[in-house]
Structure 1
């Protein structure tokens, strides 16, 4: 073959390769999402949906990406699988009482189709008939008490019932070839609560036994609906540890220590390991991780009252932040009291007066000796003008004039009395004598 023939053959191969790539990209660009999504349950704790796979247009292995919308801006962890179905254990971030948005994508190598959205309620019905403000508390590892308010447009004669299920496996059963089960078909498989409380003839709460260990991490699904199914079911899903309320501790001892501290201790035999405690002494609150607390600077003349409560440790609950700071405390324990010491106030007052007296005496002594202390520390410099005459040159030449100023004479009057022997007549003569 000539060189021209080789070049022609090479050009033809390049054109074939470009045409092949173009055909493949054209097929990938037409990758379509699945169709015919069917939604339901795989057991009471697992959402389950299936779809019809898209037509295969390329030689790559098709996979499917699935998501469920938990809020307008977040999706739950989804999955990728070659199977045309997906099952997901219930997620506390998903509001089961609102419409659920499912998304399914088709993937081929690095190409993903547009999502196929499917929006559906888990249970149908008028939302106005659904109960409101439902909450449950697990008391003392003994029983669960659930309460709610009737629906906004519920019938005055509505007769609510509560079904509940417990699960500790947190897994979904194999799907195999089964179809999603409608929610209402599973409703009668649960445990029916029997102990209801009523308000104006309408059930507004129910209580059932639950005696399990905290380490099992059970999930609870409770459904409240009308016996006639005229009310839309309300679904309450939660980890039971998140609603656990422990028995309050019992204060064993409250006493003063030799170091003037207050020692408070309590009984922890009925609480799980690593539980968290909150101690209140008068108006001060302390977080404690043990069974005692020493409060410093306890005054003898003050009466102290203490009480304590407890909750599960944070590693035992499954609440998203920041809710994990707000899970349930027990009730406060009975108060323990430590009365003031008799005479303690008098002794404290005497001590205070003694200290005050010592301070006052020290201040007075300091003030008295201040002048002498100032002279010793900072002696006064003499005034030169008092020892030097105004004529400094004259003073340097002759020195300071020293003379004695004449003393002023004082004159005293002395009377001299002379007596004549003959006449015994007294004649007085006065003479002035200078006295120096």
Structure 2
């Protein structure tokens, strides 16, 4: 039986991969002089060698006394010299070798299972919960390995239950959103026909109420679409149609669409660009338009009367950087890390506007990330917010489309 069978082994359920670095959990090499193995080794050598050396000393001393009692001193000296030069040297060497072997076995029996536990922790930290430490030991280290396995197993079961619940939730949201979208779309066109006078002439009061109903219906449709987009993102079915687009035209189209809303609130909306007007890059036109919509919606809705929104675009290295700066309410400092989270709305935003899903920026971040770009922000409460996002000018930086995304695109 080899040492690995004695001390246990790590059971691997899948091939070795780059562990530790990706998980932010890296085990650094410990210098031999400060390692646990070296300390146990040296201590064991001392504990084994010193008693053996003392035993040899007392044996020699007893032999010397015995010889001096029955023999002349010169004879004793010659006999001792012969013993020391031959037999004692061999015995001393044997003692040293045995002490070293004993120390190595002791140190290895303790440090090897600890090293196995460290390796198992690295795999778990990398997200692989199928790893288990198998030990036949019944001492404290064996108990530690057992409790480690139990903890990892329970965590894996909890994670699987959470994933199952999340999948059920996503399926429910998808079905509910689809069921809601059909009657909402029908209601939209009925209200539109009435507002356009196709169902008969309306009084000013009737027109006002119908307009409010139409706008509320539009918000409901956007909310349902956001829920559908969230489900598709979570399931990897948020399809993209990448092609060459004139990006400045898309930005200007979104600004033109939101200009009436800005004027209605009393916000000045301005666009500045140092990028070429005919700049083309590979992107999904509809998704990039959605990004601009989501950011402009926040910049205008949470602004002050007589406030400003400045949209700028410029080439920076290999990317196009777009900035949307507003003079609105900003985001409180202690809430800023949640800005791109699902369903998050800042506390001051809720006080100003009760309506909103908190999904827009989460969707926006996923769209920009899928294009190989980045998104970040700078914000100060009561002073305003600047959102920066980049899009690669070169196609090489765009992530490859996954199989599930391609299936969704083909089915669209």
TM-score, structure 2 as length reference: 0.22
The structure with the largest alpha-carbon Rg is 1
Return the structure number with greater relative CO, CA threshold 8 A, min gap 6: 2
TM-score, structure 1 as length reference: 0.21
Higher strand share: 1
